Amino acid sequence: MSRSQREPALHANHRERLRKTAVQGGLQAMEDHNLLELLLFNSIPRQDTNETAHRLLRSFGGIEGVLKAKKEEIVLCENVGQNTAAFLNALSAACVRYLKDRESLSKGFSTVDEARDRLYEYIKNETEPVMALLALDGMKRIKTMKAHKTDGLDCNGLVSLAVRDILSEHSVYAFVAFTHPSGLLAPDKRELQFICGIRDILNHRGVKLTEVMIASSEGFRCLSETGILVNGFFEGQSRP
């Protein structure tokens, strides 16, 4: 077997060993260069990534520096192309969003508007009808946030999904949003039936249905402002 034929097999074996190390020992226990090498498998499918990882760490002073580096700076490193630079920039953006989400999870919302806005950000780009659920604990911290497609579901199906997701997290406050891609910010008959059904079930279990929103890409409407939904606000929170 020639050298050119042996090298891909050697790289493949090394990658498999590194993956096994990550699974068995945990990512937290890995050295920086091994962790970065493992990440680089996603943008460098066949070449040796060990030297590339060391080179990046030397150039930017550590993983934090690598993730903060701009694309045009990253590609100056030897054997680092546009794909790897784009991947590392995307990974950096994902880390920033994760930290932002974790912060909101730990401190909770101080107003209803903050929770509404968070749920709307979650669904505003949906192009299909969905039902989104935001459940909070007694400190107004996020317990769960999920979205379900609503096509083919009747009122009972929607209620069943919402009850399962909200009550399984031992929540205190619940927010629900329905997307209307058509842009019509008014609840339909099925959604009105849903509100009646879910409100009674949640109240019986000590959960406040705080808000139901109808949303599109252009904005959202809060049904608490229409008189359809009442008595669901945070303790001490006045109606807007």
Out of 12-16, 55-59, 77-81, give the one with best mean pLDDT: 55-59
* Closest C-alpha to 68, from 86, 92, 90: 92
Helix, strand, or coil here: 63? helix
Question: What is the Cα–Cα distance from 53 to 58, expressed in whole angstroms?
Answer: 9
Percentage of the chain modeled with pLDDT above 70 = 89
Fold of 108-225: Cytidine Deaminase; domain 2 (3.40.140)
Question: What is the Cα–Cα distance from 57 to 36, expressed in whole angstroms?
Answer: 9
Number of Cβ atoms within 10 Å of the Cβ of 193? 16
Class for domain 3-106, per CATH?
A: mainly alpha
Instruction: State yes or no: pLDDT of 6 exceeds 80.
Output: no
What tens digit of pLDDT does each residue of 68-104 get? Answer: 999 999 999 888 889 999 999 999 999 988 887 777 6
In the chain, domain spans = 3-106, 108-225
Average pLDDT of every residue of the chain: 86
Burial class (CB in 10 A: 0-12, 13-18, 19+), 177: buried
Are 171 and 135 contacting, i.e. CB atoms less than 8 angstroms apart? Answer: yes
Quick one: CA dihedral 191, 161, 198, 202, positive or negative?
A: negative
pLDDT for position 107 = 79
Are 145 and 133 contacting, i.e. CB atoms less than 8 angstroms apart? Answer: yes
pLDDT for position 237 = 46
> Which long-range CB contacts under 8 A does 30-39 form with residues at least 24 apart?
32/57, 32/62, 32/63, 33/57, 35/63, 36/63, 36/66, 39/91
pLDDT for position 22 = 78
pLDDT for position 225 = 86
**148-155 mean pLDDT:** 94
> β-strands 208-216, 173-179: how paired?
parallel
Are 224 and 232 contacting, i.e. CB atoms less than 8 angstroms apart? Answer: yes
